[in-house]
């Protein structure tokens, strides 16, 4: 996807964050008609936008059937007040209607949200209007001609070309593929809403103009998981390798799942003058067939584990639990299986496979999700960021899967954490480990507080989050009182609590056993580390022998 001849127009509405201009939104006045198929839009905000809140989940285009149009990530301008939404690589469809949506999840640098979701309807112009004028007769790298026999598509030469008007004006254009050639000159009548205009179209090689669409060719090949491919480049060959490397970084930054499926590449460039052939060898974790299998299998799994009555909170838990219970961490650290295909077919993978699979499943459910890379316990690591009700959280399915594997057991120590909660053993920086990833959104919300406000005690208890509340939190100062209440007063046979201490697990067990003996009661203990907090916590289960 690219800007058409560098031209960007501004949408006729601005987006306002919460303070002021609350009633500034009536949708219909900003509806646009006769939009060019490759038209990029610019959205102007009244405050600087937090770039972490701008992505294809918060700003997107819907087609006539309400489906999201696949496109690149929206871009925040250098001054921070504008967001640019480019057209799809193939352009919008002629005569079709679309809706540009700006969700309330877009926030300012001060973390102020929009006061409401914004929608703008726009309709792409009919084909006969696309071919009016001179320079603007180019649409999606194809000249569309309407004559007495109907519409003829004339793809252009792989070199740059030009068309010559009858008045002698010559306009240079460029394109990527050649399918048909015109013999000599052809005179065609262009029909438009103002009348008729006739001119001669001459296709001619003009190798001095740089190749167009070469980055899109690379992107298409990589999305298809091609391991060997070549492209032709025409233009200035100085610093060509730098240009190609930059294009590859941009492609991977704009295609997050592809970025995590990508292993590496090598280039071989040959040419002279202003023409070059670039040969690529690219390695991926998954082949095209394997990636297609994963997409199909994900749909089947979701059909089994997701009930239509579930809310998004329940869907995220269902996905997390499925991944943890059906996959085991490969303790041999075999990087060859570090992708979803091997997780689903062999039942073993590493962190990249866990995170990519969670990404695919939540994305299929239209739940905003990101992949994030950083370090954990001194090693490179990948996990997810998940958005619920406009708030982002960290989710690490890898660290919620016990090692060695314990079939059926699920932990929630790394389930929907805030930045501060997960930072005790995870670290990251914008750009990720490879430095090319889009900025990560901030996760500043405590999930337990959200569930308490929702009154969802069932979900709180199923996640074990009740142990973060005061009623279940014990330290050395109130241990005796807590045990006395549970054992002597309530006569409970089995109970669990969170014990906060700086002691080792052996010293903690000794301390609690001694406190129980002080009550003249026997019992057994089960202790496990509780990693959800920054304190050194243990979950303690007491079995009492009366």
Domain ranges for the chain: 32-124, 128-203, 213-284, 288-461, 469-545
CB atoms within 10 A of CB 456: 17
Give the residue with greater pLDDT, 529 vs 137. 529
- Is residue 58 scored above 70 in pLDDT? yes
Mean pLDDT for the stretch of residues 13-19:
41
Beta bridge partners of 76: 83
Nearest to 58 by CA among 370, 445, 454, 451: 370
Q: Which of 363, 367, 414, 360 is nearest to 390 (CA)?
A: 367
148 pLDDT above the threshold of 70? no
pLDDT band at 5 (very low <50, low <70, confident <90, very high): very low
User: In the structure, what pLDDT confidence band is assigned to residue 110 with cuts at 50, 70 and 90?
Assistant: confident
Angle 201-207-211 from CA coordinates, rounded to 5°: 95
pLDDT at 155: 38
Report strand pairing: 41-45 vs 9-15: parallel
- Residue, of 156 and 291, whose pLDDT is higher: 291
pLDDT band at 31 (very low <50, low <70, confident <90, very high): low
Asked whether 544 and 523 are in contact (CB, 8 A), the reply is yes
User: pTM here?
Assistant: 0.61
Q: What is the DSSP letter of 30?
A: G
| pLDDT for res 166 | 37
Residue 322 CA, chain-centre distance (Å), reads 21
The confidence band for 134, taking pLDDT boundaries of 50, 70 and 90, is very low
Query: Is pLDDT at 17 greater than 50 in this prediction?
Result: no
Fold match between domain 213-284 and domain 469-545: yes
270 CB neighbour count, 10 Å cutoff: 9
Report how far residue 402's alpha carbon sits from residue 398's, in angstroms, rounded to the nearest whole number: 8
Tell which phi-psi region holds residue 69, choosing left (phi > 0), alpha (psi between -120 and 50) or beta.
beta
Give the residue-averaged pLDDT of 313-337. 95
| % of residues, the chain, pLDDT over 70 | 78
Q: Which CATH class is domain 32-124?
A: mainly beta
Residue 537, pLDDT score: 87
**Residue 140 or 347, more confident:** 347
Lowest-confidence range among 171-180, 258-267, 436-445? 171-180
Q: Is the pLDDT of residue 343 over 80?
A: yes
Structure confidence at residue 187 as a pLDDT band (50, 70, 90): very low
How far apart CA 215 and CA 211 sit, in angstroms, is: 10
Q: Which of 154-163, 341-350, 363-372, 415-424 has the lowest mean pLDDT?
A: 154-163
From the options 1.10.10, 3.10.620, 3.90.400, 3.30.70, give the CATH code of 288-461. Answer: 3.10.620
Q: For 213-284, which CATH class?
A: alpha beta
Q: Among 265-269, 296-300, 404-408, which stretch is predicted with the lowest mean pLDDT?
A: 404-408
- Under a CB-based contact definition with an 8 Å cutoff, are residues 189 and 132 in contact? no
Q: Given the structure tokens 């391991």, which residue do they identify?
A: 227
- Does the pLDDT at position 84 exceed 60? yes
At 4, the pLDDT band (50, 70, 90 cuts) reads very low
Angle at the Cα of 263 from the Cα atoms of 298 and 360, rounded to 5 degrees: 15
- Assess whether pLDDT exceeds 80 at residue 385: yes
Q: Where are the beta strands (DSSP E) in 37-181?
A: 41-45, 59-62, 75-76, 82-85, 97-102, 118-124, 138-139, 142-147, 150-155, 161-164, 170-173
**Which tops the pLDDT comparison, 524 or 286?**
286
Find where tokens 């990530």 sit: 73
- Which range has the worst mean pLDDT, 83-92, 151-160, 271-280? 151-160
pLDDT at 531 over 70: yes
Model confidence at 150: pLDDT above 50: no
| pLDDT of 413 above 80 | yes
Residue 263 has pLDDT above 80, yes or no: yes
Residue 135's pLDDT band (cuts 50, 70, 90): very low
Identify the three-state secondary structure at position 142. strand
271 contacts: CB under 8 Å, gap ≥ 6: 233, 237, 277
Identity of the highest mean pLDDT range in 34-38, 178-182, 347-351? 347-351
Mean pLDDT rounded to a whole number for the chain? 79
**Which three-class secondary structure state does DSSP give residue 516?**
helix
Q: What is the pLDDT of residues 220-235, one digit of tens each?
A: 999 999 999 999 998 8
The pLDDT value given to residue 30: 52
| Whether the predicted pLDDT of 151 surpasses 50 | no
> Contact, 434 vs 380, CB < 8 A?
no
- Predicted confidence at residue 208, as pLDDT, reads 36
User: Which among 110, 115, 113, 140 has a CA at the least distance from the CA of 127?
Assistant: 140
CATH architecture of the domain covering 469-545: 3-Layer(aba) Sandwich (3.40)
Percent of the chain with pLDDT over 90: 52
pLDDT at 92: 87
């Amino acid at each position: 996807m690219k800007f058409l001849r560098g031209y960007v127009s501004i949408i006729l509405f601005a987006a306002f964050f919460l303070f002021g201009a609350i009633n500034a939104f009536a949708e219909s006045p900003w509806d646009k008609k006769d939009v060019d198929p490759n038209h990029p839009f610019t959205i102007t905000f009244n405050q600087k936008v937090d770039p972490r809140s701008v992505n294809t989940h918060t700003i997107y285009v819907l087609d006539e059937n309400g489906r999201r149009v696949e496109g690149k990530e929206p871009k925040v301008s250098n001054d921070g007040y504008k967001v640019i939404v480019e057209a799809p690589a193939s352009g919008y469809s002629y005569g079709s209607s679309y809706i540009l949506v700006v969700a309330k999840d877009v926030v300012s640098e001060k973390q102020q949200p929009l006061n409401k979701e914004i929608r703008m309807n726009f309709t792409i112009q009919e084909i006969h209007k696309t071919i009016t004028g001179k320079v603007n007769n180019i649409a999606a790298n194809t000249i569309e001609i309407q004559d007495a026999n109907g519409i003829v598509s004339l793809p252009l030469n792989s070199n740059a070309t030009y068309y010559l008007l009858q008045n002698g004006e010559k306009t240079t254009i460029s394109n990527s593929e050649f399918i048909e050639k015109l013999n000599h000159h052809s005179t065609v009548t262009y029909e438009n809403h103002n009348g008729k205009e006739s001119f001669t179209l001459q296709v001619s090689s003009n190798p001095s103009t740089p190749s167009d669409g070469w980055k899109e060719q690379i992107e298409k090949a990589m999305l298809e998981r091609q391991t060997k491919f070549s492209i032709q480049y025409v233009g200035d060959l100085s610093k060509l390798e730098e240009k190609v490397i930059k294009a590859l970084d941009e492609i991977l930054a704009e295609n997050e799942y592809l970025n995590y499926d990508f292993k590496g590449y090598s280039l071989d460039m040959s040419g002279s003058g202003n023409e070059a052939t670039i040969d690529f060898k690219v390695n991926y974790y998954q082949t095209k067939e394997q990636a297609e299998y994963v997409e199909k299998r994900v749909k089947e799994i979701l059909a089994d584990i997701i009930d239509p009555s579930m809310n998004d909170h329940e869907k995220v838990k269902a996905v997390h639990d499925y991944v943890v219970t059906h996959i085991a961490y490969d303790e041999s650290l075999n990087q060859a299986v570090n992708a979803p295909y091997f997780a689903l077919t062999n039942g073993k993978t590493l962190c990249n496979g866990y995170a990519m699979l969670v990404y695919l499943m939540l994305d299929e459910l239209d739940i905003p999700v990101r992949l994030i890379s950083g370090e954990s316990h001194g090693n490179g690591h990948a996990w997810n960021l998940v958005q619920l009700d406009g708030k982002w959280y960290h989710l690490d399915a890898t660290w919620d899967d016990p090692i060695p594997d314990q079939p059926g057991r699920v932990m929630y120590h790394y389930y929907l954490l805030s930045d501060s909660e997960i930072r005790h053993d995870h670290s990251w920086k914008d750009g990720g480990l490879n430095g090319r990833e889009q900025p990560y959104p901030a996760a500043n919300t405590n999930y337990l507080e959200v569930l308490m406000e929702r009154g969802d005690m069932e979900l709180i208890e199923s996640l074990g989050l009740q142990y973060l509340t005061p009623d279940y939190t014990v330290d050395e100062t109130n241990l005796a009182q807590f045990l006395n209440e549970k054992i002597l007063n309530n006569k409970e046979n089995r109970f669990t609590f969170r014990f906060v201490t700086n002691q080792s697990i052996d010293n903690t067990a000794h301390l609690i056993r001694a406190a129980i003996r002080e009550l003249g009661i026997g019992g057994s203990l089960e202790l496990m580390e509780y990693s959800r907090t920054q304190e050194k916590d243990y979950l303690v289960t007491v079995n009492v022998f009366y």
